[in-house]
Amino acid sequence: MNGNCLTHGYADGRYVLPPLPYEVTEMEPVVNTQNLLLHHDKHHAAYVAGANAAAEELRRINNGSLGGELAPYCTQKLTFNLAGHILHTLYWHNLSPLPQDLPFGLLADVMSRSFGSYDAFYRLFTGVAENVQGSGWAVLGVDSVSRRLMVCGITRHQDVLVPAFMPLLACDVWEHAYYPTWKNNRKGYIEAFMRHINWKFVSQLYENLV
């Protein structure tokens, strides 16, 4: 899953915090400027730092500088932080400052075959996002075994890091993503997210897989 999602999040052998693909003020009123800055500059940056630290620790284990008994802990630390980095990188590019039209082209055709209609997909995706217990993500992706589109809810970042699932669209429903703007109105935030999906970006990701 990493290739498509990390195009903007990896450089010179290290994970990097990608710049937002729009001005920070442009996502008002979906997410207010202060909320967006906190989410990108603090939360996402922490995942990048954590992934780089864990990757370096694993390198030191492999060259004998650290004991091998630390490998399981460092691996868990890397998968959590790297998955957080991947999903957040995807999330920023999934959003468009301007309200968007419905999916189009090949992706629209496949969504109709997979879910019956866009409306059915909308109900499924928003229902998953609203009902992820506690904090987590709603994700649309491709099951690379069946080649079918799937919607899943995840409560831990690393749960989506499986080779057979390629995410295309991710809605962050951790409270830090929306609470300063929407308070406890998760549904309002999700509906605003759905109106501002960058379907051109999502379609390009899909077409790169097929």
Q: Where is pLDDT greater, at 81 or 9? A: 81
Question: How many other CB atoms are found less than 10 A from the CB of residue 12?
Answer: 5
Instruction: Determine which helix (DSSP H) or strand (DSSP E) holds 139, and give its type and residue range.
Output: strand 137-143
Whether 199 has a pLDDT exceeding 60, the answer reads: yes
Give the pLDDT of residue 68. Answer: 86
* pLDDT per residue as tens digits for the range 21-77: 999 999 998 999 999 999 999 999 999 999 999 999 999 999 988 888 999 999 999
Query: Cα separations (Å) of 202 from 38, 176, 178?
Result: 25, 24, 22
Give the pLDDT of residue 24. Answer: 95
Give the pLDDT of residue 1. Answer: 47
Give the pLDDT of residue 107. Answer: 96
Q: What's the pLDDT band for 2 if we cut at 50, 70, 90?
A: very low
Q: Where is pLDDT greater, at 100 or 156? A: 100
Task: Give the dihedral of Cα atoms 133, 139, 143, 148; nearest 10 deg.
Answer: 110
Buried b (16+ CB within 10 A) or exposed e, 89-127: bbbbbbbbeeebeebeeebeebbeebbeeeeebeebbbe
Pick from 198, 176, 199: which is nearest to 189 by CA?
176
- Is residue 121 classed as helix, strand or coil in its secondary structure? helix
CA dist., res. 121 & res. 124, Å (int): 5
Percent of the chain's residues with pLDDT above 70: 94
* Mean pLDDT (the chain, rounded): 91
* pLDDT per residue as tens digits for the range 156-198: 877 765 667 889 999 999 999 999 999 999 999 999 999 999 9
Which two three-digit tokens encode residue 51?
């992934």
Give the pLDDT of residue 4. Answer: 53
CA dist., res. 117 & res. 205, Å (int): 20
Give the pLDDT of residue 65. Answer: 86
Pick from 74, 20, 49, 46: which is nearest to 174 by CA?
46
